[in-house]
Amino acid sequence: MGNTRLNSFSSGIWHLGEEMMSNVLVPPTRKIDNCECDLSGRLKSLNAECRNCAPITPFECLSGCRVYLLKNELRHLWEAMANPSYMKELFNVLKNKPRLHVMQAIVNGTYSLNQLQLELKRAGHDYRQDLLGEECLPLLLEVGLATRVRDNYHATMLAISLAQVFDAFLEFADKLPTRSECYEEALLQALLSGPKTFEDIEALVAPKNVSRTLKRLNSSALIETPKERAYIFFFRTIRDPNKETLTATEQRVCDVVGYEGISAGALAKQTGLSLRRTYKYLRSLKGKKLVFMRRTPKAYDLTCSGKKLALVLQQLQQTVEETWNSSQPVMRDNQMILEAGGLSKNILLH
């Protein structure tokens, strides 16, 4: 169904005649330069180009106008983005190395299925043609990253603006679960603002999925918890220890505790005492109001790899949102705006 929708423009134009199609369906060279990658600026210029154009007949637009083709491409992209689950589907499509390799190829060129297979083979990726034609390309078409013109495939404006994301995403394609609800992606982006406790995460991810989500990210070395496993920490109070009579060992324990806090296990290691004796002296110091105890909930934070992936996901999501916002004037002025509530429904993190 997604393929049918995305190919509706090409199918409609086909009936205008074989001769005209030969002109319309030759896509422009897809070079990745600053002008082409500045999707926001490119979209803003579309309407100005149309207003300054004075075609003799509408067929001039069909037969050779690049702006016309870009606007139709944009319309198909909007149909994909109107899906409330668009961001989830986009992430799931990209969590696959063959699809990422296909995107890397078509971003820089236009290929038929046979040519694409040969191009990928030259790049060291030997994929079956049925894998490319029945799994990779249809899904890329459905989320608006690729477009098909007759028998040739090339990248859309959105895909070109995401070219660097595809390269960075390859490193992590196998670290995230496929066909998921994308709780992992949402949590990784949330952790960019700082560590989160289990209770914090329950507010971001459905409670029944929190443990499984954390387990997946932890096993992929994308998140970590503090090496110190204890939840209870001991802190010095502001009371002057000189006002109390302390044994040498009590004084040593009190000095090590400090104002920044320490767990009993770490305290025992630093003082050379057994854990049992450490607790004994802590109870004594607590009774003299020199030490107090505080429970610190376990927090989850990003590893270096997790932060890198979270930034890639954030960049991808921001680019999609900017595409949606930048394209609104173009769609509105051409009466192609769809009945959708806005991209905010598709954002994983509101």
The model's pLDDT over 23-66, given as tens digits with 9 standing for 90+, comes to 333 333 444 344 344 555 665 666 566 666 665 555 555 555 66
How many of the other CB atoms lie within 10 Å of CB of 47? 16
- Residue type, position 78, single letter: W
* Distance (Å, whole) CA 323 – CA 43: 9
pLDDT confidence of 331, banded at 50, 70, 90? low
At 59 the pLDDT is: 53
DSSP per-residue string spanning 108-160 = T--EEHHHHHHHHHHTT----HHHIIIIIHHHHHHTTSEEEETTEEEE-HHHH
pLDDT tens digit sequence for 165-188: 888 889 898 899 988 999 999 999
Q: What is the mean pLDDT of residues 247-264?
A: 90
Question: Are the C-beta atoms of 5 and 76 separated by less than 8 Å?
Answer: yes
pLDDT tens digit sequence for 92-142: 999 999 999 999 999 989 999 999 999 999 999 999 999 999 999 999 999
pLDDT tens digit sequence for 68-97: 667 777 778 888 888 889 999 999 999 999
- Partners of residue 112 on adjacent β-strands: 152
pTM: 0.67
pLDDT tens digit sequence for 216-227: 999 999 999 866
pLDDT tens digit sequence for 263-280: 888 899 999 999 999 999
The dihedral sign for the CA sequence 245, 251, 255, 256: negative
More confident residue, 261 or 282: 282
Nearest Cα residue to 331 out of 106, 39, 47, 30: 47
* Distance (Å, whole) CA 111 – CA 102: 10
Residue 12: pLDDT over 50? no
* Distance (Å, whole) CA 7 – CA 13: 10
CA angle (176, 231, 186) in 5-degree steps: 25
pLDDT tens digit sequence for 225-251: 866 555 788 999 999 988 888 999 999
At 64 the pLDDT is: 54
Question: Would you state the structure tokens that stand for residue 300, as one six-digit string?
Answer: 């989850």
Q: What is the mean pLDDT of residues 273-302?
A: 90
Residue 300: pLDDT over 60? yes
CA distances for 268 relative to 246, 257, 277, 291, angstroms? 18, 10, 8, 15
* Distance (Å, whole) CA 103 – CA 118: 14
At 179 the pLDDT is: 87
* Distance (Å, whole) CA 90 – CA 320: 10
pLDDT confidence of 157, banded at 50, 70, 90? confident
Question: Are the C-beta atoms of 231 and 296 separated by less than 8 Å?
Answer: yes
Torsion of CA 279, 281, 284, 285, to 10 degrees: -100
